[in-house]
Amino acid sequence: MDSVDIIQFLENKTILVIGATGFLGKIFVEKTLRIQPNLKKLYLLVRAKDVYSATQRILNEVVEIELFKVLRDKWGGNLSSFISEKVAAVAGDISCDNLGVNDSNLREEMFREIDVVLNFAATTNFDERYDVALGTNTMAAFHVLSFAKRCAKIKMFLHVSTAYVCGEMSGVITEKSFYLGETLGESKTSKLDINSEKKLVEKTLNQLQAENATKEAVNSTMKELGIKRARLYGWPNTYVFTKAMGEMLLGYYKENLPLVIIRPTIISSIYKEPLPGWIESLRTIDSIICSYGKGKLPCLPANPDTVLDLIPADMVVNVVISAMVANAKANQYSADPIIYHVGSSMRNPIKISDLHEFYTLILLNILILIIMGTKFKSAKALYWTHGINFKDTWLLDICYH
């Protein structure tokens, strides 16, 4: 896909982005505004009670963060007016019909203007409460699809899923869509029925309420229910199970709407642009690295030859944009969703032994900088100007290796 084709396609286009305050959503918003300032409009739907609150969320959680530094440097004092012209914050809720967009005039405007709908929204906790995961990863995807199908100019609905909907498989995994009710592996249960899963969730919640269960008991019960149902049908955890059910609904109900599903593997920090190494909070493998660095994880039992399928976030967004443009321009009907697996294990695999070498080298370099007097900020807001504070330092474990 030629970059010129992408830039030309984005010109004068209107895109609805669901999940714009999430990690990938922010990177997508920044990149589209940076590479094509003549984009017509980005509708960014966020959970908020009104337009003002939605706008503040977009400003605080997206536009004003470090990720937008390149755009700020480019536009300077004109950035605010540029954002006001190109970005429209929409107060809504993906768990509701019409995505919770209550302003009928705005809703009709969106139905008229939107060319592409992108759904980045998800709850990614492996052991999320079953009701929460089912609502966000499964039913919300269906609500976004229903909204997209009402857009008069719609060219593409692109949904971001995860490669791990395929379950605990090995070898080459094909880009195959799910049929409604499909189960995985050696699951011998009856056909999966998503409506029955919804009813089970409602029944369980009603029963807990009747028993005056504590908040902790409700959380624990719903988390256990999610894991139990996932494993019953062949998935390892609630996250990938509910994402798979979301894909099933999209494929079954998409009708003639062009549907692309992106399945990334383990998403890491930005590789190249706009800020190499940028990441937000602890994600997937990061928690293991930080725990090791803090001395809280002295060892990790694992096969050193195991491949970690890591993919930088900006590469995932590049695939999202390229797939969106390529399939929208092709304008060819496909009865099944068009699926892309996005990973690195085939062409550039990273083993656990490689990861150990990488973060050991990084932490040792930081240790040297600390000894040389470079200032760092610890989790307890203490500044090191020389030496090492063994009580607070996250490099404790390195000192013994």
Active-site residues, by number, are: 239, 243
The whole-angstrom separation of Cα 282 and Cα 288 is 9
Pairing of strands 376-377, 310-312: unpaired
The whole-angstrom separation of Cα 239 and Cα 124 is 6
Nearest to 310 by CA among 266, 348, 278: 266
The whole-angstrom separation of Cα 123 and Cα 19 is 10
CB 366 within 8 A of CB 290: no
Q: Please name the residues in contact with 8: beta carbons below 8 A apart, sequence gap of 6 or more.
A: none
| CB count in 10 Å sphere of residue 352 | 16
User: Residue 339: in which H helix or E strand, if any?
Assistant: strand 338-342
User: Residue 160: in which H helix or E strand, if any?
Assistant: strand 156-160
Give the type of residue at 220. Answer: S
Partners of 89 in the β-ladder: 44
CB 16 within 8 A of CB 45: yes
Determine the length of the chain: 401
Nearest to 355 by CA among 263, 268, 236: 268
Partners of 16 in the β-ladder: 43, 117
Structure-token pair, residue 83: 């954002």
The whole-angstrom separation of Cα 361 and Cα 61 is 32
Structure-token pair, residue 240: 């990938």
Nearest to 89 by CA among 68, 63, 112: 63
Sign of CA dihedral 302, 303, 305, 306: negative
